[in-house]
Amino acid sequence: MPTTIDMRYGCNPHQASARCFMADGRDLPIEPLNDAPSYINLMDALNAWQLVRDLKSALGLPAAASFKHVSPAGAAVAAPLDETLSASYFVADRDLSPLATAYARARGADRLASFGDWIALSDMVDFPTADLIRIEVSDGIIAPGYEPEALEILKKKKGGQYRILQIDPDYAPAATEQREIFGVQLAQQRNDFIPDDAFFHNIVTARKDLSAIARRDLTVATIALKYTQSNSVCLACDGQVIGTGAGQQSRVHCVRLACAKADNWYLRLHPKVLGMKFAKGLKRPEKINAIDIYLQDDVTPAELRAWEANFREVPERLSAEEKREWLDHLKGVALSSDAFFPFRDNIDRAQRSGVEYLVQAGGSTRDDLVIEAADEYGMLMINSGVRLFHH
């Protein structure tokens, strides 16, 4: 491993002379295998690697993350894809390995946000995963290793300029981390928290039936939150993130954003969406944009005219009633919040997106009202006592 990596530039191209190194002069735990990363690439890579490492540690399953601007657009553990999800994720014709299913799920959570992502994978990259990444628009990848055939596939992306990082999976950072802001040094104990049995112990609602599947999904949502810019709320279902509300100043706006993304994820599974007949030669990103516009309510006539050019047959738009009827089938969603819920409005909004299981820090002066709201909807809620801010 090298002692220094010269980066393309810092956060922006005019911030030149950027480099990556260990303060004590030791070798780095990462090595570029193809092209030089930028400052933001490395921030995404190192945060995303920790996320998939924690998921693999907590659940024992291959894990993947799709990262953008220091927050996950999606994260997932390996789980088979049914026909509907395979069609929605554009992988119906592919023979996927467990690791590839994890990435297909991570990418499929929010395909708009994942455009040009940084990928993190917990396991050695195999051919099916590399072959899937080959057709996606992505800026780079970090993983503990690459099969030779997989590495050759990835090296050809972006005209040979796809950024590939290999990380030592045995690397463990120091217990204390430091950061410099405006010339001022800050230091703190590293956040090494991973959800365990105690995290799920304090169920405060009348409902107590926390299944293994619900616990898995709460774990996925919670570990994703750990590496998401705060304030943040994350929804997970079927082993993957389906909606994240990140970097908001109010808790309810986090919930609204996360739930809106989860709603869009589920609406993309509607038969009218899966049955769309796109114009010949339309590329995957254009299809994704066309689906997104299709699901929006506030579209102008000019936007609609441009949108219609994406199809051989223009699909009939979903009415508000059809959307609500479809969304009412979404059940068993897990929600994790990086801090306490101060008002019941968070619970009221969450239940409209199929949330049945929640974990939050607890400790608000209105905990009793929040618990009462969860009980009204028959939810199971855990007050964990653990705050997970990430800045």
How far, in Å, CA of 237 to CA of 75, rounded?
11
Query: 3-state DSSP call for residue 383?
Result: strand
CA angle 73, 352, 272 (to 5 degrees): 70
Query: 273 near 279, Cβ under 8 Å?
Result: no
Angle of CA points 119, 125, 127, to nearest 5°: 115
- Is 280 catalytic? The answer is no
Known catalytic residue at 390: no
Query: How many Cα neighbours within 13 Å face the side chain of 228?
Result: 33
Is 41 an annotated catalytic residue? no
Give the DSSP letter string of 111-134. TTTTTTEEEEESS-B-HHHHHHHH
Cβ distance 101 to 79 under 8 Å? yes
253: annotated active-site residue:
no
The active-site residue out of 14, 208, 280, 391 is 391
- Nearest alpha-carbon partner for 237 in 207, 262, 256, 269: 262
Nearest Cα residue to 130 out of 161, 86, 82, 162: 162
- Cα 135 to Cα 11, 156, 324, 364: the distances in Å are 27, 11, 33, 46
Any idea what the Cα angle at residue 127 is, between residues 122 and 133, rounded to 5°? Answer: 70
Give, rounded to a whole angstrom, the gap between the first and last alpha carbons of the chain. Answer: 28
Nearest in space to 388 (alpha carbons), one of 199, 111, 134, 212: 199
Q: Which of 34, 41, 231, 383 is catalytic?
A: 231
User: How many Å is the maximal CA-CA distance in the chain?
Assistant: 62
Per the document, the length of the chain is 391
The residue from 56, 68, 157, 390 that is catalytic is 68
Residue type, 378: G
Q: Which residues pair with 186 in a beta bridge?
A: 179
> Annotated catalytic residue: which of 69, 155, 158, 323?
69
The set of residues, in sequence order, having a beta carbon less than 8 Å from that of 342 and lying 6+ positions away, is 251, 364, 366
Q: HSE of 389 in the Cβ direction (CA atoms, 13 Å)?
A: 7
Q: Which residues are catalytic?
A: 68-69, 231, 391
